[in-house]
């Protein structure tokens, strides 16, 4: 029995053919039950496996089931029920774990080719049967050289695999967000293995993990644009000879309406509700109900680069209404009139009338940063991602005093997520808050020097 700071571990140790085996348990009764089982099997003269140290009667499907085969089976099991983006994330998660479960390192091909074969072919149901000969050779080698599922029945092995899977090819630690996502996906796989009776229990560590894997979801205040910086960058985009006006409309919609990039590219002209040109109140509305995230044609069922989905974190047929302030109303009205758009058309289109490509958006934004920002600002986190336009918009709403519940509804977030993400960026209300604190906590002034 080992008494640690957090928990007490009860370990059963036994010897087989000169080799010591051990198995830890969370409670004493579980350890004693396992020990009694071993003694009973030994008294009956039951054969013990030299590979697992357990009686033959203890052998589960995990001993005969290959990790690679089961991982492929899991991918196929969830394929039709998940989005293209989730399919890609599953493949990314299973790739380093599979590499960590190899009996030996490959000598005929390098790590980059190995990971590409796993990520792009083995764990992609659409492409697995289309693997070129050189990839097929790698995958056959992987199938022969991965451990059995019984590796997940030993706590020490589980910890070692998770440590290895959290390391990049160059030996550096993977991003904490990637580690957390991979662990979440792996947990679903292991639970599926338990349900299929391949494994008896899930030995993955519970809880939030160690301090080294912690990461913050809060927005970096340095990434937010000031009004002047936003005006300069959007102005440069507007003056861009090729597609500048369309891209300006795209970026302005993110900056003023706080929509996600995959939502802006999917907006239909019929979902833009603008007031009459001569109306006094120039506020309009945007009805957002569809997203088109860019994930790559190899992951979608349609073979298109983008995958049409409902709104993030909402029911498939849900929508939200976002106010369209006068500045954006003028931009959208001018854009619709100039392009001759009508309901049923995409609001912002590519050069050939299709959906605006993500590569075009990112390239234009990088060029705007390089041309408008100074050298120090360009190297800083300031507006490094297109998504920072949304962060700037939501921060501006909160700083203007819009209630968090309303901002969350407009943004398509929950209130807890909104506050956790933007709490560090809210300012401009400090003087009022100081006065409230002073009024709430002030004691009566002492009557005289003798007052206590």
The answer to whether residues 261 and 148 belong to one domain is no
Q: What is the residue-level pLDDT of the chain in tens, covering all 452 positions?
A: 556 556 678 899 999 888 898 888 878 888 888 889 889 988 988 888 777 788 877 666 667 789 999 999 999 999 999 899 999 999 999 999 999 999 988 888 888 999 999 999 999 999 999 999 999 999 999 999 999 898 888 878 888 888 888 888 777 888 888 888 889 999 999 999 989 888 888 888 775 444 445 555 788 899 999 999 999 999 999 999 888 999 999 999 999 999 999 999 999 999 999 998 888 788 999 999 988 888 888 998 888 888 888 777 666 678 899 999 999 999 999 999 999 999 999 999 988 888 899 999 999 999 999 999 999 999 999 999 999 999 999 999 999 889 999 999 999 988 998 988 888 777 655 566 666 677 776 566 565 544 43
The answer to whether residues 143 and 261 belong to one domain is no
The answer to whether residues 157 and 275 belong to one domain is no
The answer to whether residues 252 and 144 belong to one domain is no
In a domain, 19, yes or no: yes
The answer to whether residues 55 and 68 belong to one domain is no
The answer to whether residues 55 and 71 belong to one domain is no
In a domain, 441, yes or no: no
Res 452: pLDDT: 38
The answer to whether residues 312 and 386 belong to one domain is yes
Largest CA distance in the chain: 95
In a domain, 15, yes or no: yes
The answer to whether residues 148 and 236 belong to one domain is no
Domain residues for the domain of 114 are 64-213
The answer to whether residues 32 and 135 belong to one domain is no
- Angle (CA) 121 359 233, round 5°: 150
Do 407 and 398 meet the contact criterion of CB atoms below 8 Å apart?
yes
In a domain, 396, yes or no: yes
Res 111: pLDDT: 87
In a domain, 51, yes or no: yes
Domain with residue 332: its CATH number is 1.10.443.10
In a domain, 266, yes or no: yes
Res 87: pLDDT: 94
Collapse the DSSP code of 440 into the 3-class scheme (helix H, G, I; strand E, B; otherwise coil) and give the result.
helix
What's the total number of domains in the chain?
A: 3
Res 315: pLDDT: 64
Instruction: Look at residues 165, 181, 213 and tell me which one is the last residue of a structural domain.
Output: 213
Closest-CA residue to 332 (of 396, 256, 404): 256
Tokens 């968090």 sit on residue: 404
pTM of the complete model beyond 0.85: no
The answer to whether residues 236 and 205 belong to one domain is no
CA distances from 117 to 142, 199, 312, 358 (A): 10, 27, 30, 25
In a domain, 436, yes or no: no
Q: Give CA–CA dist 319/376, Å, rounded.
A: 40
Res 117: pLDDT: 95
The answer to whether residues 162 and 207 belong to one domain is yes
The answer to whether residues 189 and 259 belong to one domain is no
CA distances from 269 to 274, 286, 318, 440, 444 (A): 10, 10, 18, 50, 62
Instruction: Look at residues 213, 246, 273 and tell me which one is the last residue of a structural domain.
Output: 213
In a domain, 447, yes or no: no
């Amino acid at each position: 029995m080992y008494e640690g700071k957090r928990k007490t571990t009860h370990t059963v140790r036994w010897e087989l053919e000169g080799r010591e085996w051990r198995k830890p348990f969370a409670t004493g009764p579980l350890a004693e039950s396992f020990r009694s089982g071993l003694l009973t099997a030994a008294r009956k003269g039951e054969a013990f496996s030299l590979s697992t140290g357990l009686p033959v009667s203890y052998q589960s499907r995990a001993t005969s089931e290959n990790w690679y085969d089961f991982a492929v089976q899991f991918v196929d099991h969830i394929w039709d029920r998940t989005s293209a983006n989730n399919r890609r994330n599953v493949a990314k998660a299973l790739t380093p774990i599979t590499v960590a479960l190899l009996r030996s390192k490959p000598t005929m091909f390098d790590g980059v080719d190995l990971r590409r074969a796993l990520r792009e072919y083995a764990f992609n149901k659409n492409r697995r049967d289309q693997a070129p000969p050189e990839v097929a050779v790698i995958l056959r080698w992987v199938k022969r050289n991965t451990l059995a599922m019984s590796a997940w029945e030993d706590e020490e092995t589980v910890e070692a695999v998770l440590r290895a899977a959290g390391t990049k090819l160059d030996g550096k630690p993977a991003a904490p967000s990637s580690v957390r996502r991979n662990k979440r996906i792996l947990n679903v796989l292991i639970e599926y293995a338990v349900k299929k009776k391949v494994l008896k229990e899930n030995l993955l560590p519970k809880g939030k993990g160690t301090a080294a894997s912690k990461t913050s979801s809060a927005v970096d205040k340095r990434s937010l644009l000031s009004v002047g910086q936003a005006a300069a960058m959007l102005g440069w985009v507007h003056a861009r000879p090729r597609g500048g006006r369309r891209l300006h409309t795209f970026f302005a919609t993110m900056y003023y309406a706080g929509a996600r990039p995959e939502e802006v590219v999917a907006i239909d002209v019929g979902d833009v509700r603008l007031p009459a040109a001569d109306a006094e109140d120039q506020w309009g509305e945007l009805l957002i109900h569809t997203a088109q995230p860019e994930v790559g044609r190899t992951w979608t069922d349609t073979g298109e680069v983008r995958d049409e989905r409902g709104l993030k974190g909402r029911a498939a047929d849900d929508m939200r209404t976002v106010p369209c302030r006068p500045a954006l109303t003028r931009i959208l009205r001018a854009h619709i009139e100039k392009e001759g758009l009508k309901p049923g058309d995409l609001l912002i289109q590519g050069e050939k009338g299709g959906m605006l490509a993500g590569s075009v958006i990112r390239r234009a934004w990088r060029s705007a940063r390089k041309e408008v920002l100074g050298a120090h600002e360009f190297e800083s986190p300031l507006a490094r991602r297109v998504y920072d336009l949304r962060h700037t918009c939501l921060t501006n709403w909160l700083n203007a005093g819009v209630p968090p519940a309303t901002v969350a509804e407009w943004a398509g977030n929950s209130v807890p997520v909104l506050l956790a993400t933007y709490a560090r960026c809210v300012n401009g209300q400090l003087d009022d808050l100081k006065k409230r604190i002073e009024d709430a906590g002030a004691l009566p002034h002492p009557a005289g020097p003798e007052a206590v």
